[in-house]
Structure 1
Amino acid sequence: NQSSSGGTSGSVSASGSVLAVPAAKDIMFSRTTGDTVAVVNVKDTPGVKVTSGDGQTNSDGNLVVPLNSYDWNTVTIDAGTLPLSTELTNTSQKVVPTDKAVVWMPFDALKVKRYLLQVKQ
């Protein structure tokens, strides 16, 4: 914008959250702006989605998901977004967080190698 005095001005707007997550050794940026959140971790597995949130895990396998305070919340991994080389011991976790809580929610990921053998007689 140009003002009558010949100067130029402008503005920038952004919304979201910045979280320092000691358990993940990470600083995360998220579109989620709620007071109560979970940091879902599928270790070193980027691109994984959850059924109750927006977005996908970052390069470290972390994703911020909104939660409801003082209520049961179920966070479920969308198994269809897991790489074929990754298995989870469970795909769902439940939690009842307090107000303004940041819940660390790791999912145990196992890296596997699959082989297909064909036996002929």
Structure 2
Amino acid sequence: MFGGEDGSPDLLKVTLDVLDPAICNKSFDVEIRTTNMLSRGIDSQMLCAGVLNGGKDTCQGDSGGALLSPNRELCVFVVLGVTSFGKVCAFANSPAVYARVSEYIPWIESVIP
């Protein structure tokens, strides 16, 4: 995994900030200009999260994992996103991109009765 190390056998968690799409677009500027995948930048089906100073992040092997937010009033967690991709792991100014689950609720409800 990261740095040639094996992943953890234990489930881990990290606290990240959900970031403004403009911050993410700046981080992915080269990819936005040069690839089809991000030709429009971060869109409504995506969200970014990370720690701008670096040191905490999702990484290879975390794809498909949930980005959760606590709803203290209801005493539950809400799934905001699903880990999708990033440039590098835990570097400063390099947030990761997540699939925004709320954009897929109609599809989810059509598949899961």
TM bracket, shorter-chain basis = under 0.3
Higher helix share: 2
Higher strand share: 1
- Indicate the structure whose relative CO is greater, using CA pairs within 8 Å and at least 6 residues apart: 2
Highest CA radius of gyration, 1 or 2? 1
Under a length normalisation based on structure 2, what TM-score does the superposition of the two structures give? Answer: 0.27
